[in-house]
Amino acid sequence: MNIKLLYSYYNNDLRNDLIIDKHLKKLNFIRIPAELGPKKGTNKFKKILERIPDFDLCILGFGEDGHTASLFPKHSALKSKSSAVAITNSPKFPPNRISSSLTKLNLSRYKIAIACRKGKDKVIGLIRKKENLPIT
């Protein structure tokens, strides 16, 4: 099986892709070109995603508010039907981000949500209650 993984990352030293590059093979990963900025990076990312009908596996982390892949609760980016979305007013640093849309993520055959660091108990409870959050 040719597994393709999608991950989101921040455009700074907290980028998840730095951890992935260090510990896992890069071959199966799709890099989001955040260094190009929201507009150019999103356009390039859309072209990359057009070649991939869906993902076999999507591994996502999530925040204390239930956001995942830079998609925040009640944010306008959640409504995007495009494969990729630019986030220019993120409620959490950094303000400019690029992500796959929730629509595209939901097409993944399998999804894994990983909870790391303290402070996730509350959101895990909300997930179990099937609250309407991006991670759910």
CA distance 25 to 132: 33
* Residue 18 domain flag: yes
pLDDT of residue 119: 78
How crowded is residue 14: how many other Cβ atoms within 10 Å of its Cβ? 11
Structure tokens at 109: 């055959």
Read off the pLDDT of residues 67-108 as tens digits, 9 standing for 90 and up. Answer: 999 999 999 999 999 999 999 889 988 889 999 999 999 999
Read off the pLDDT of residues 30-76 as tens digits, 9 standing for 90 and up. Answer: 778 888 999 999 999 999 999 988 888 888 888 889 999 999 999 99
Is the model's pLDDT at 14 over the cut of 70?
no
**Which residues does 109 contact at the CB level (< 8 Å), separation at least 6?**
54, 55, 56, 57
The structure's pTM equals 0.77
* Residue 133 domain flag: no
* Residue 101 domain flag: yes
What range does the domain containing 11 cover?
5-128
* Residue 135 domain flag: no
Structure tokens at 58: 């999507």
CA distance 102 to 136: 10
* Residue 136 domain flag: no
Of residues 22 and 57, more confidence is placed in: 57
pLDDT of residue 6: 42
* Residue 29 domain flag: yes
Confidence band (pLDDT; 50, 70, 90) for 114?
confident
Is the model's pLDDT at 4 over the cut of 60?
no
**What's the mean pLDDT in 122-130?**
89
Number of domains into which the chain is organized: 1
| Among 73, 85, 92, 105, CA closest to 14 | 92
pLDDT of residue 54: 86
Only one residue has tokens 């907290």, namely 14
* Residue 134 domain flag: no
Domain containing residue 119: CATH number? 3.40.50.1360
pLDDT of residue 9: 38
